[in-house]
Structure 1
Amino acid sequence: MFDFSEHIKFIISLLAIVNPIGAIPIYISLTDGYSLEDRARIVRITPVAVVAILLTTLVSGEFILRFFGISIGSFRVGGGILLLLMAISMLQARTSRAAHTSDEAEETSDRETIAVVPLAIPLLSGPGAISTVIVYAYKAKGPLAYLITSAGILLIGLAIYLSLLAAPHIAKKLGKTGINIITRIMGLILAAISVEFITTGLKNIFQTLT
């Protein structure tokens, strides 16, 4: 039976994980001193790269689980723990992602590369987003389900594009405090979703064992 609410939940959870607003300060710091043309090019490339990564994961997610012999229950627990750790970091409004990706940004001489690494991956479409897509790819049954899930990923790409496009204005209006508040709210939503991932995964594992 087709459950539209599951797809709404997927879009909300993925939006919380990707957190385009929270990536704005990192984007601004990485592109400091860049020309308007360079920034515009990065704004165009980044969402395309994120969508490509997540759509590839959506199509190949179930195959990956079968190839490595991983049950969906185990993957839900592992993914839920990963999401919970991300949520805790977001609730504390840490900027650890910027610290981890700054070295990669310094190593690249091509400014366009920043749009893919570190912005697209691992900043926006990191392990949390990829694991979430794989879990929901397992649930997607039939062409309509895949179509709606793909549309949700495209909406995430649009949100990223609009956020980066308006980054200078948003950062000026919200300030560091405002961005931290939004990041904490997203972290709270993500924490609740991660707990559901873990409990559902444990139920599946225990049912299999019994």
Structure 2
Amino acid sequence: MPYEFLVSALVTLVAVVDPIGLVPTFLGITHGMPAAARLSVAVRASLIAASILAGSALIGDWLLRTLSITLPAFRIAGGLLLFSIASEMVFGVRIGRQTQEAADALEERVRNIAAFPLAVPLMAGPGAITASVLLSGRTAHDPIRIALLLGVIVVVCSACFLCFVAATPIAKLLGTTGNNVLQRLIGVVLAALAVQYVIDGVRAALAT
């Protein structure tokens, strides 16, 4: 039944993407940004993630098979890249670099952060992409179910956006010291998550 598929898809993607759980990470990687820039990052990241997940649902399985790319390889690559960002956050490199950036470079930085690591691999990571591909396989090419799946993707990414918008007042309450501490804590968590991505990818690769 389409209703059962809708509920299953919604629960699956909400659990995998975890919009509320992304709020501390959003605060950490947008530390030092003005409110307008944070909003721009939230909008861009949500749109990018929605596009990637929708694309994965429509052509993801075919594309990965065509390019001979496995999900374990994607997970390992994402983990290595995410670890580089996490190390910068822990050692405060991002703070020092942010203060040296001119105002005309802010827009470029907003685009970069929105795409990586926020949209990929945190929002549209290997787990979310895998879930989208598997859910697409359950549609049996039924146009109604495909439309429902795309609608669920839009809803989940919209929920992420709303959570990111709510994060800005939280950042104001934390203040400068609180944000500095949070950024380093989140950096440690992201580093552990990055290592876990690599471990899971290696295990999956060795199991095949």
Give the TM-score category using the shorter length: 0.5 to 0.7
Q: Is the 8 A contact 1:45 1:115 kept in 2?
A: yes
Distance 1:99 1:65 in 2: 24
Give CA-to-partner distance per residue, 1:78-120, whole Å, 9 cap, x none.
89xx9xxxxxxxxxxxxxx975643588599732110111000
Whose helix proportion is higher, 1 or 2?
2
**What does 1:35-46 align with in structure 2 at a 5 Å threshold?**
35-46=34-45
Shift of the 46–65 alpha-carbon distance from structure 1 to 2, 3 Å rule, reads: closer
1:131-146 equivalences under 5 Å are 131-141=130-140, 142-146=142-146
Between the aligned partners of 2:20 and 2:82, the Cα distance in structure 1 is 14
User: In structure 2, what residue type is equivalent to 1:145?
Assistant: R
C-alpha distance in structure 2 between counterparts of 1:20 and 1:164, whole Å: 8
Q: Distance in 2 between matches of 1:55 and 1:153?
A: 7
CA distance in 2, matches of 1:66, 1:119: 26
Name the structure 2 match of 1:16. 15
Uncovered stretches (5+) of structure 1, i.e. residues with no partner: 70-74, 83-96, 177-210
- d(CA) in 2 for partners of 1:122, 1:104: 17
Query: TM-score, normalized by length of structure 1?
Result: 0.61
Q: Is 1:26–1:98's contact at 8 Å kept on the other side of the alignment?
A: no
Shift of 1:170: 5.8
Aligned to 2:21, what secondary structure does the other structure show?
coil
Give the gaps of 5 or more residues in structure 2.
76-80, 99-104, 175-181, 183-208
Shift of 1:67: 4.3
State the Cα distance separating 1:5 from its structure 2 match.
1.1
Identity %: 25
Equivalent pairs, count: 153
State the SS of the aligned residue for 2:31. coil
Relative to structure 1, is the Cα distance of residues 101 and 14 closer, same or farther in structure 2, using a 3 angstrom cutoff?
A: farther
Any conservation in 2 of the 1:18–1:125 contact (CA below 8 Å)? yes
Q: In 2, are the aligned partners of 1:43 and 1:161 still within 8 Å (CA)?
A: yes
Match of 1:152 in 2: 152
Q: Which residue of 2 aligns with 1:89?
A: none
Q: Secondary structure at the match of 2:32?
A: coil
Distance 1:119 1:104 in 2: 15
Following superposition of structure 1 onto structure 2, how do residues 57-96 of structure 1 map, counting pairs within 5 Å?
57-64=56-63, 67=66
Which residue of 1 is the match for residue 199 of structure 2?
none
TM-score for the superposition, normalised by structure 2: 0.62
Q: Distance in 1 between matches of 2:28 and 2:167?
A: 11
The answer on whether the counterparts of 2:2 and 2:144 sit within 8 Å (CA) in structure 1 is: no
